[in-house]
Structure 1
Amino acid sequence: MDKNTKSADGTSIAYETSGDGPAVILVSGAMSTGGTVAPLAVPLSKHFRVAVYDRRGRGASGEASPYAVEREVEDLAALIDALGGEAALYGTSSGGALVLRAAASGLPVRQVAVYEVPFAVYEGGAQERAEYTERLTAALDEGRRGDAVELFLRLTGMAEQMIQGARQSPMWAGMETIAPSLAHDNAVMGDGLAPRDRLTSITAPVLAVAGSASPAWMHEAARAVARTVPGGSYRSLEGQTHMVEPEVLAPVLTEFFAK
């Protein structure tokens, strides 16, 4: 990240830009930094000025206590100001929940696109989210970062054998380093349910996208966003999973953001 901006509370937010044109900010999800969405910036930068950034508490960005979701919205406000005062937003997974919050807060946002925000639209989803919150909080409070990462991976549906394999891999140390930010994403998701009052207040056009190879509830969560936002629309990407391929997603976002 070669640039920095100061959020309202003084926290330094690291970001980088590529391309020219209307500003687009890409927002990563849980267990990730700006580098995770950087591959998507490559095709988008042919049409837009694209910014990727490290959310607070990750990568090259700073952290301040106590954490509050409102601070992350202020981080986006600072980025939008640094990019000229208006931007379109794209968020993946829980990053999508963050950009929906930002749009609902009244920031100068042209359009919003989200990919598979994991709202708990399935039976028992709210209870599962509550149990995850309790166990995650305990693990992080007790310094059990590895256990926190395991909890998150189970929440995503990863098989136990794969989780244990990951724990023995070289990448595990990096995952433990970023584990405290899991609490941030959990706070962004709230109770896990699609926040109807917040979504109905969004005035910017919203595109909710899901991959056809993802679980059915992911599609229903995307449809719920599209149905609830006054200017919402839904799109399914053939053959894609939660780990969407940038070259498949980019043309859809380009078309939407160019409107």
Structure 2
Amino acid sequence: MDGQRGHVETSDAARIGTLTAGSGPSLLLVHGGMGQLERWQPVWDQLTQHFRVTAMDRRGRGSSTDSPNHTADRESADISAIIEKLNSDTGTSVNVFAHSIGASFTIAAVAGNPAVGKVVLYEPPGPETVAGGWPEKVTELIRSGRIGPAIASFLIDVIGLSPSEVETLRNQAGAFDPRPIAAATLPREARALQTLDLAVAEKIACPVLLLLGSESPAWAAHITAYLQATIPNASTAVLQGQGHEAIDNTPSNIATLVTRYLNRSGHD
């Protein structure tokens, strides 16, 4: 991924790294769990043809530093800080495309935020996603050094992949090793989801497109339906034949869908 590196300092002294490329309306990309900004590589070239795209490394991974006492509020504040910086740099509103838990933290960041233009949220998880004691399970796996089984549990029990799909991902991982990120962030993000209040979504004034895979786990459909009913100006697009990982499986279709929505005139 080509672009210009930058960073934003947060109120708790974390340094959030960014990568920016392209020209046009401002678009911030917020990745999900167990990844970093490079996860946007499948859609990067297509999106940067239409937007001035900034991808962020969420705290504790990639080019970003961390601080003690992780909370969902701090993750949301990081996103807000970058939106503020992009708005200040360009003098125009900032669009946001966020995936998975990054989308969960984005909800509070864009609620009532006048600097935001349009938002695309792809299957943000919530408390029901980690019900049934999964946070305790993954915390124990990480504590006992069983990082591989913890990753597999996340992908199968939470994301809804099959064991064969997990094996395919493992074989395609290449140079990127997710184990350090998983060890540092899976338990804390699971705990953050337990107490996440999605009701703040009712304060989102800008247009929002919710993306939902037709093959995604039940929690994704439940939460998407809740957000559709809660956000005043929301619409939903169902990704037929896809689950939680359509950014990897059908990147051109995702980039085209997002581009058309963000470039569409009016508040639809």
TM-score by length of 2: 0.80
SS of equivalent to 2:87:
coil
1:74 to 77, 81, 99: 77
Distance 1:79 1:221 in 2: 26
Matched, 1:95 2:102: yes
Comparing 195-204 with 71-80, greater Cα deviation is found at 195-204
Matched, 1:253 2:258: yes
Q: Could you say which residue in structure 1 is the equivalent of 2:21?
A: 18
Distance 1:62 1:114 in 2: 25
Matched, 1:58 2:65: no
Matched, 1:108 2:110: no
Identity %: 28
Distance 1:172 1:8 in 2: 33
Question: Residue by residue, what CA displacement relative to the aligned partner does 1:15-51 show, whole Å, maximum 9, x if unpaired?
Answer: 1111112211111111111110232232122221111
1:229 to 225, 228, 231: 231
Shift of 1:216: 5.8
Shift of 1:241: 2.8
8 Å Cα contact 1:129-1:191 kept in structure 2? no
Distance 1:76 1:229 in 2: 19
8 Å Cα contact 2:126-2:194 kept in structure 1? no
Return closer, same or farther for 1:170/1:77 CA change in 2, 3 Å cut-off.
closer
1:185 to 184, 189, 192: 189
Unpaired stretches in structure 1, ≥5 consecutive residues: none
Q: Could you say which residue in structure 2 is the equivalent of 1:154?
A: 156
Distance 1:170 1:255 in 2: 30
SS of equivalent to 1:226:
helix
Distance 2:51 2:171 in 1: 40
Return closer, same or farther for 1:164/1:235 CA change in 2, 3 Å cut-off.
closer
Aligned length: 252
Distance 1:36 1:249 in 2: 14
Q: Could you say which residue in structure 1 is the equivalent of 2:44?
A: 41
8 Å Cα contact 2:80-2:110 kept in structure 1? no
Distance 1:167 1:39 in 2: 17
Distance 1:134 1:217 in 2: 19
Unpaired stretches in structure 2, ≥5 consecutive residues: none
TM-score by length of 1: 0.83
8 Å Cα contact 1:202-1:229 kept in structure 2? yes
SS of equivalent to 1:84:
helix
8 Å Cα contact 2:73-2:105 kept in structure 1? no
The within-5 A match list for 1:140-219 is 140-155=142-157, 156-160=159-163, 174-179=177-182, 180-190=184-194, 195=197, 197-215=199-217, 218-219=220-221
Distance 1:239 1:131 in 2: 29
What residue identity is the alignment partner of 1:101? Answer: A
SS of equivalent to 1:78:
helix
Distance 1:78 1:196 in 2: 20
8 Å Cα contact 1:41-1:51 kept in structure 2? no
The within-5 A match list for 1:2-17 is 2-17=5-20
8 Å Cα contact 1:69-1:184 kept in structure 2? no
Question: Residue by residue, what CA displacement relative to the aligned partner does 1:100-126 show, whole Å, maximum 9, x if unpaired?
Answer: 121226463222111122447xxxx56
